[in-house]
Amino acid sequence: MIKFENVSKQFPLGNKALDSVSFTVNKGEFIYLVGPSGAGKTTIIKIILKQTVPSSGEVSIGDIRLDWKDKSQTENMRRNIGVVFQDFKILHDKNIFENVALGLNILGENKKNIITEVNQALKLVGILEKKEMFPTQLSAGELQRAAIARAVVGNRDIILADEPTGNLDPTTSWEIMKIFKKLEKVKTIIFATHNTDIVNSYRKRVLTLKDGKIIKDEKKGGYDL
């Protein structure tokens, strides 16, 4: 469970990214974060990842209240979260297998487990046959699949997806959504997006943000620009 209680984030120049935001995401829930650019979607993801410190309010993940000064808590917590970025963040000097294995190496998994888990994850996202290839040899959609595989390995319970279809064409975006559909049964997923088609076609809980505030929280919501 992820819980935000009156969380605000104000930048030094005074602009507010979040204004007293409260919501709860239950374990195994799929939730869309929608809203225009600057609404606060990425700030919420960054706060969950402890990349950004909120100006006020409290955030809990499971039973743990986030302590912004506790570095070991940050490391342990991040080991339970997989992240998918709009720009993929795939390392170009490593092949696809090595990219996906990165998180497992950090977790200290043994070589045998790494091979098994990475192969399973690559099979799940449909690019197992491309595991020896380097990022320059893959399309954008394939790179995003690799990024999703990297996010799911290592028994990570939570997946944060920050506009994962933002750089993809509509067809590829739908293929990526199919992978998230498979994952929603076993992971808690927070999916930040602009894509109205995806939100309106694949109906799930929607948190709509505007100017740092939650203006709508609908169980099977939609998204109108």
Partner 1 sequence: MNLKNLITSIKRTPYQSLTSFLILFFTLFLSLFFFNMTSFFNGILSYVETRPQVTVYFQDTVEEGDIFSLRDELSASGKTMSIEYVSKEDALEIYKDLNKNNPLLLEMVTAEILPASLEVYASQPEYLSEIAEFLKKQPGIDEVVFQQNIVERLVGLTTLLRRSSVVILFFLLIISVIVLMTTTAFKIALKKDEIELMTLLGASKSYVRRPFLMEGMFFGIVSGTAAFAIFYLIFLYANTFLKSYLAGIPNLPFYNLGNLNIIVWPPSIYFILLSYIAIILFGAGIGFVGNYFSTSKYIK
Rule CB under 8 A: which residues touch partner 1? 49, 51, 71-72, 75-81, 83, 89, 91, 93, 102-103, 106-107, 150
Q: Which amino acid is at 210?
A: K
Kindly state the smallest distance separating residue 69's Cβ from partner 1, in Å: 14
DSSP label of 74: H
Nearer to partner 1, 72 or 110 (CB): 72
Q: 105 vs 139, which CB is nearer to partner 1?
A: 105
Contact assessment for residue 212 and residue 17, using Cβ atoms and an 8 Å cutoff: yes
For partner 1, the closer of residues 91 and 215 by Cβ is 91
Supply the minimum distance, in Å, between the C-beta of residue 133 and partner 1.
Answer: 17
Least distance to partner 1 from the beta carbon of 153, Å? 10
Residue 190 CA to residue 42 CA, distance in Å, equals 11
Q: How far is the CB of 103 from partner 1 (least distance, A)?
A: 4
Of 172, 174, 168, the closest CA to residue 199 belongs to 174
Enumerate helices (H) and strands (E) in the chain, giving the number of each. 7, 10
CB of 104 to partner 1, least distance (A): 9
Q: Residue 101 — φ and ψ, nearest 5°?
A: -75, -15
Q: Which is nearer to partner 1, 5 or 133 (CB)?
A: 133
One DSSP character per residue, 169-214 reads -HHHHHHHHHHHHHHTTTSEEEEEE--HHHHHHS--EEEEEETTEE
When the beta carbons of 53 and 106 are compared against partner 1, the nearer one is 106
72 vs 171, beta carbon nearer partner 1: 72
The minimum distance between CB 73 and partner 1, in angstroms, equals: 11
DSSP 129: G
Give the Cα separation of 201 and 161 in Å (integer): 18
What is the C-alpha separation between 117 and 139, in angstroms, rounded?
23
